[in-house]
Amino acid sequence: AQSVSQHNHHVILSEAASLELGCNYSYGGTVNLFWYVQYPGQHLQLLLKYFSGDPLVKGIKGFEAEFIKSKFSFNLRKPSVQWSDTAEYFCAVGFQKLVFGTGTRLLVSP
């Protein structure tokens, strides 16, 4: 069965700091990988996705993620966070049936 691990449950950063959120998955075959974001009081929004091709994927709001097949990882990065990036971030893997990680709560202090 597929599983997704997000190692950081809570992350606190100051504005302009760099961000990297870890995501590891267990699945031996071809996978689709996703990062979703949930801002306070809002619903889940798709941040970026990887299906195939270039393993460095760029998403909305300056986020990017790198698929490293040998490490079964799909880490999310942003060079300089803003206060408005305060949210919960979920990594997910799958096709129709998505398997989600438990989420990382990011708090960016101004």
CB of 53 to other proteins, least distance (A): 11
Which run of H or E residues covers position 41? none
Of residues 46, 60, 68, 107, which one binds other proteins by CB under 8 A? 46
Q: Applying CB under 8 A, does 84 fall inside the site for other proteins?
A: no
Lookup result for tokens 């031996």: 28
Looking at the Cβ atoms of 81 and 93, the one nearer to other proteins is 93
97 counts as binding other proteins under rule CB under 8 A: yes
Q: Which stretch binds other proteins (CB under 8 A): 18-26, 39-47, 57-65, 66-74?
A: 39-47
The answer to whether 86 and 40 are in contact (CB under 8 A) is yes
- Would you say 108 and 61 are in contact if contact means Cβ atoms under 8 Å apart? no
> Residue 19 corresponds to which tokens in the numbers above?
């961000």
Q: Does 45 bind other proteins (CB under 8 A)?
A: yes
Q: CB within 8 A of 29, min separation 6: which ones?
A: none
Q: Could you tell me which residues come within 8 angstroms of residue 14 by beta carbon, excluding any fewer than 6 positions away?
A: 108, 109
Q: Indicate whether 101 belongs to the interface with other proteins (CB under 8 A).
A: yes
Give me the residues that bind other proteins (CB under 8 A), please: 4, 32, 36, 42-46, 49, 51, 90, 92, 94-103
